[in-house]
Amino acid sequence: MNFYIVDVFAVGKYTGNQLAVFTGDGVGQLSDTDMQRIAKEMNYSETTFITSTEMRDGGYDVRIFTPEQELPFAGHPTLGTAYVLQQEIIQKLVERIILNLKIGQIPVTLDYSGESVEWLWMRQKTPTFGQGFSADKIAPVLNLEVEEIDSRFPIEEVSTGVPFIIVPLNNLASVKKIKVNKDKYFELVSNTQAKAILVFCPETYYPENNLNVRMFADAMGVPEDPATGSANGCLAGYLVEYAYFGSGPIDLRVEQGYEIGRPSLLLLKAQKGQAGIEVNVGGKSIIIAKGEFV
């Protein structure tokens, strides 16, 4: 088997969220236990396995594992795996690659600058909205005061395949000071579909960006993620649903990972369509290492 280490949603080399991608004839022979063991050994937030390089129903079969569990869908593994497919397996300037994931088929489109991939975009499932929460329930989990949560907008579970609790904050100072209370966090997620919390605010480190984001998911083995495509897809649906930037479509730059030294950039586009809110999440990918796994 071959493996690739990819920086996804990167603003430069060794930024963004790192991913291990496995491919080769041996991948299709791995058991679930083998994949789980390898994901634990790689110890990234997610590891993906391209189980066949032959297309099925127009897409490539891919499985996603964290060190703790298999996921039906995740954002940066989808984009990073599509990038490896284009660069190392297809080796052509294709405009679209479909990944067959547990959740279903997820299309990825590729924008080029000359011969190089500039941006990758994934179309996520239509967002669904779930349980709501009071500020006084969430604030102690994050070690915040109730007043630091933006009361103009709800705290709510949103899912495009994996659910997240979306929490609007007033400013960057509140985002930066968060320290998750592990006991209160696990008490919260024991009674929720979502096992991860995304917080955001409109104040940013860099003026060209529109939002600053942090994401916490201890129950999924990720104390804090430097860049989260699935969570930001949920956020995009939330922003449109509640007209955070006013009515109409959004086209945003989101910074994440600055507080943990892995600066990342995610692009969000979303609008209301006839079938619900249409969400697209984009970013860059860079292969930083490759090797053989024996």
Query: Looking at the structure, do residues 118 and 136 belong to the same domain, yes or no?
Result: no
**Beta-bridge partner residues of 290:** 4
Could you tell me if 135 and 115 lie in one domain? no
CATH of the domain at 145: 3.10.310.10
What pLDDT, on the 0 to 100 scale, is given for residue 183? 97
pLDDT at position 151: 98
Are 170 and 190 in the same domain? yes
Average of per-residue pLDDT values in the chain: 96
Total-model pTM:
0.92
Residues 204 and 152 in one domain: yes
Give the C-alpha separation, 201 to 36, whole Å.
35
Measure the CA–CA gap between 5 and 77, rounded to whole angstroms: 11
Q: Which H helix or E strand runs over 36?
A: helix 32-42
In this structure, are 115 and 177 located in the same domain?
no
Q: What is the pLDDT of residues 183-194, one digit of tens each?
A: 999 999 999 999
Q: Are residues 189 and 242 in the same domain?
A: yes
Give Cα separations from 37 to 32, 66, 224 (angstroms): 9, 10, 22
pLDDT value, residue 14: 87
Say how far apart CA 169 and CA 175 lie, in whole Å.
Answer: 7
Q: How many C-beta atoms surround the C-beta of residue 136 within 10 A?
A: 9
Name the residue range of residue 88's domain.
2-125+283-292
Beta strands (DSSP E) in the chain are: 2-8, 17-23, 47-50, 60-65, 70-71, 96-101, 104-113, 116-123, 128-133, 155-159, 163-168, 197-201, 211-217, 222-225, 250-256, 264-273, 276-283, 285-292
pLDDT lower than 70: segments of the chain: none
Cα–Cα distance, 18 to 6 (Å, whole number): 6
pLDDT digits (tens, 9 = 90+) for 1-10: 999 999 999 9
Contacts of 29 (CB under 8 A, 6+ apart): none
What is the set of active-site residues? 46
Tell me, what's the pLDDT at 10?
93
Count of the separate structural domains present in the chain: 2
Closest CA to 63 of 55, 53, 73: 73
pLDDT of residue 221: 82
